[in-house]
Chains A and B, each alone.
Chain A
């Protein structure tokens, strides 16, 4: 336990410089983007003088490092500022939109595991059989199909033609959990195809490898039933691999929500960030980046902690 506490402590210490570095890089990149938020803020057909006045009003004509320093100084004190465009507090935008995005991501991961694991087991139980071939070719397709396209197809068939699920929108899970799940099903399904395929493929190859290992051969020889071998020894051994796949999936799906949120009109952080980047609304972009970095760090940390639980040999 002492070891784990030490690791936790070390990792949290590393997190701070990562956050500063990430926000600094994003801030610098935003300086390179074409476009000028002062032009947007000044309104349609504004004169050059008005634009200059706006720059002055919002402190946009200050040197780049001064702007970043001022942002960082406030952020360290817990003040993330407000959106330049609309004045909504960044903390409010993030706490409103990020849980929405996370809900869809977690739902998609759950689907990936719930569908991917049985498929992987089915394929691995008879490697080389037609069943294995069929499942694996479907899985390859799942990796290859772009999720926004699949999203459109799902909307068309399940949303508009059959009207089984709502085609657009979102309900907050704190408000009404069942409705939230119902609304998030199509987007989560669209996001999970890649995940399902990856989980199934990884699980299959790991299981097949285990089946050929010496200790499984010994178990067979001792007369253990194949089912027992699978549940007690096989899956336990591949669980670390599975965990790695899932944690990688997390960042992948988090990134993919940007497009899927647009297709389903989900008011998540992806759409908020895209708009903020396009308009140069840097306080919002910084706040969102911070939230994502923290989340990824936490997920990675949790994964590493779980490794040690699943496999005592790891520390």
Chain B
């Protein structure tokens, strides 16, 4: 990268500069005075050495500590700073090695992790089995941890050698490796946590490719390259600078006018604008985030499976995607998108758009003259547009009623916790392992099963079967059975999978979307044209 003599170089804020670059920077700073600050000169030099990626980010993170944070939108900021024990494949979400070089189930209740050697945290603390034990114990027991339930299946964590950890489980759980690819597997420096206590939330120390520099709430998060990263080829960038811009239209404008290199979580209606924009690249890919209608099958007409099936036949998903999401989404016929490793094409065929069949089923169930439902939703503009489309499609087969709307926390509490309303138009944000998703949505006492009705016979067995092995083919079969039971009993009305729409300037190379829908800038580099 640099062909200058290394003796002739200076390090400015972690970025190595040749003497000439350094002088140019100083000179530029002095000569231009007000117009070119030393900072922007630094940024220009940095661009030559791998570059600082300027990201237009969607929202302020809730915390930079993976254990105490609570929002799914935090991951974008956490991934560069932390490595996870297990990683996932971008396209299919299949687990693959991360800080854990390998893992094996000695028996269904004993998981052994073998760790990467020679890895260090940003503060110099070695990453070893003790650090993993510290992290997992903290994540599953600290009062401030928001991810205790993720690790509820763990009985104990033991250090078996400097780079070997043995996890003993309360019950077989092959979803655990995928759980360790999420927050629970992000390794924080034990020394930093012990020293800083609650202040750690704003001063993260991981093993990742980027070192944390600063965080100004709602404005900016700055990271710089970790020179000792154990896989340096993964992140060729000199740093990442996140500017927080909550409005998607403004995010896109900051990219178009050159103040950002990449912007994520853009809307379908912005696609034509991006395509018309000069020199912009766009990435559109499905994610596991699913817009869906949750049903409470403990009350009213929805106790009858035929009514629930009628709802599923009544929805024209292609039209829904066009009308509500401007065509930028994948129609959802089950809880997993097409590219997911556990997707079953047979289950997806169960509910084609068939208004006549919906009418016939309603008639059979004794609702030949129509049925009225108490529907719930959120009070944002996008949800209300979606409600209008759903109402119109329902009306065609004789399903009537009205939506009552409220804020997300308010309506979610009313519907899921207090069991008010027959259904809610909402979304499932996705979980790294599908068995977690099904358990959380359909098990008898699950929060997202508003009616707390026991799932169909065979559901729990198939779910347990999917967790008892880490043989992906066997798991896939068991999960197909789970999904078939859910859809045959019509426990949900899936609508569409959200598409991750990311736009980048032409000098950004190597960006890929992932199925989780949480951008990771691994492999991204900057090249000036």
Contacts and interface: CB of A to CB of B under 8 A. Distances in A.
Given A178-B35, A275-B60, A42 B218 contact: no
Interface in B227-268: 243-247, 250-251, 253-254, 256-260
Nearest to B412: A39
Contacts, number: 130
Contacts of B143: 53, 57
Contacts of A57: 143-144
A206 interface: no
Given A57-B143, A179-B37, A275-B60, A155 B253 contact: yes
B257 A160 contact: yes
B259 A169 contact: yes
Q: Which of A46, A86, A175 gathers the greatest number of chain B CB atoms within 10 Å?
A: A86
A159 B409 contact: no
A129 to B, nearest CB: 42
B61 A86 contact: yes
A279 to B, nearest CB: 10
8 contacts: A34-B407, A159-B257, A163-B257, A168-B250, A175-B37, A177-B34, A262-B246, A271-B246
Interface in A148-188: 155, 159-160, 163, 166-169, 171, 175-179
Nearest to B65: A87
B344 to A, nearest CB: 25
A181 B60 CA distance: 26
B34 A178 contact: yes
B488 interface: no
Given A34-B407, A41-B70, A85-B62, A168 B198 contact: no
B246 A166 contact: no
A36 B409 contact: yes
Contacts of A44: 70-72, 429
B250 A271 contact: no
Interface in A41-97: 41-48, 50, 53, 57, 83, 85-88, 93, 96-97
A265 B242 CA distance: 13
A118 interface: no
B316 to A, nearest CB: 29
What interface size band does chain A fall in?
Answer: 35 or more
Contacts of A271: 218, 246
A271 B246 CA distance: 9
A83 B217 contact: yes
B71 A43 contact: yes
A99 to B, nearest CB: 13
A176 B28 CA distance: 14
Nearest to A177: B34
A250 interface: no
A169 B253 contact: no
Given A53-B143, A167-B256, A168-B259, A88 B202 contact: yes
Contacts of B218: 97, 267, 271-272, 275
Q: Which of A44, A167, A265, A275 gathers the greatest number of chain B CB atoms within 10 Å?
A: A265
Contacts of A177: 34
Given A44-B70, A88-B215, 12 more contacts: A39-B413, A85-B60, A86-B61, A159-B253, A166-B257, A167-B259, A168-B260, A169-B259, A179-B34, A262-B250, A263-B247, A272-B217
A87 B68 CA distance: 11
A275 B247 CA distance: 12
A42 B148 CA distance: 11
Contacts of A48: 417
B37 A265 contact: no
Interface string B28-52: 0000011101011000000000000
A241 interface: no
Contacts of B116: none
A57 B70 CA distance: 15
Contacts of B62: 40-41, 43, 85-86
Interface of A: 34-36, 39-48, 50, 53, 57, 83, 85-88, 93, 96-97, 155, 159-160, 163, 166-169, 171, 175-179, 262-265, 267, 271-272, 275
The 4 A-B pairs at the shortest CB distance, nearest first, are namely A43-B70, A267-B219, A178-B34, A167-B257
B146 A96 contact: no
B448 to A, nearest CB: 7
Interface in B109-150: 143-144, 146-147, 149
A96 B37 contact: no
Contacts of B33: 178
A34 B146 CA distance: 23
Interface in B401-458: 406-407, 409-410, 412-413, 417, 429, 440, 447-448
B70 A40 contact: yes
B164 to A, nearest CB: 31
A287 B406 CA distance: 28
A167 B254 contact: yes
B370 to A, nearest CB: 33
A45 B448 contact: yes
B37 to A, nearest CB: 4
Contacts of A155: 253
Nearest to B201: A87
Interface in B16-37: 33-35, 37
Nearest to B244: A267
Nearest to A265: B245
A187 B385 CA distance: 31
Contacts of A175: 37, 39
Contacts of A85: 60, 62
Contact of B257 (A34, A36, A168, A275): A168
A176 B261 CA distance: 22
B489 interface: no
Nearest to A155: B253
A47 B146 CA distance: 10
Contacts of A96: 216, 219
A43 B409 CA distance: 11
B190 interface: no
Contacts of A160: 253, 256-257
B250 A45 contact: no
A47 B410 contact: no
B431 to A, nearest CB: 9
Given A45-B448, A267-B219, A167 B253 contact: yes
A12 B446 CA distance: 58
Nearest to B431: A45
